[in-house]
Amino acid sequence: MLRQRAVEVDVAEIATPGFQALVARMVEVMRAAPGVGLAAPQLGVGKRVFVVEDTEERMAKLTAAERAERGRVPVPLRVLVNPVVTPLGEPRAVFFEGCLSVAGFSALVPRHDEVEVRGLDERGQPVAWRVRGWPARIVQHELDHLDGTLYVDRMLTRSFGTTAHNAERFGGQPIAAVRAALGL
């Protein structure tokens, strides 16, 4: 399922108890992990829907400098159905990324710094959401899941390692220093 393209959700399906239960379960699993995003294929459901949420609690271990470098800010819960993501501008940010479906590992992944997401919310209402920094990274990661793509397909392979190893070796260092150390 993680390697297949998920199918568009029929708009009439959004209000059904079955679809609403899927969304509720996605939010539940994301929060329990804890994670900052989850796509339906990660639960074995091949539908184009993902959820995103980031909170102060989930970024509590980061220093102010680390938050600033990542562009990490709290994001209230968002449900995106049939999302279309458009990159805005050229800049690409490189940072460590992990995935609940590739548990225990991390790697540097380049992502667009700013994107616009269009789609429907959990009530079937149109959504246009412009995001940058960490939330933009989450959105691109989750959209990839809907297309059967995992971060390991986009990562800078020399940076791939266990989350524990990468945290121990590179924790607290600016990304420029990490790249220099890895010869990237």
CB 20 → Zn ion: shortest distance, Å?
Answer: 23
Task: Tell me the closest approach of the beta carbon of residue 97 to Zn ion, in angstroms.
Answer: 8
Q: Give whichever of 100 and 127 is closer to Zn ion, judged by the CB atom.
A: 100
Number of CB atoms found within 10 A of residue 12's CB = 9
Chain residue whose CB lies nearest Zn ion: 99
Here the tokens at position 21 are 């239960």
Compare residues 67 and 154 and give the one whose CB is closer to Zn ion: 154
122 Cβ contact partners less than 8 Å away, ≥ 6 residues apart: 14, 20, 23, 79, 81
Q: Residue 119 Cβ, how far from Zn ion at the closest point, in Å?
A: 18
Under 8 Å between Cβ of 47 and 21:
no
Catalytic pick among 53, 97, 122, 142:
142
Task: Respond yes or no: is residue 142 known to be catalytic.
Answer: yes
Whether residue 165 contacts residue 82, with contact meaning beta carbons closer than 8 Å, is answered with: no
What does residue 30 show for φ and ψ, rounded to 5 degrees? -60, -45
> Looking at the DSSP assignment, which residues form a beta bridge with residue 37?
52
3-state class (DSSP) for residue 3:
coil
- Measured from the CB atom, the residue of 10 and 28 that comes closer to Zn ion is 28
CB of 96 to Zn ion, least distance (A): 13
Which one, 40 or 99, has the nearer CB to Zn ion?
Answer: 99
Which residues would be at the binding site for Zn ion (CB under 5 A)?
A: 99
Catalytic positions are 142
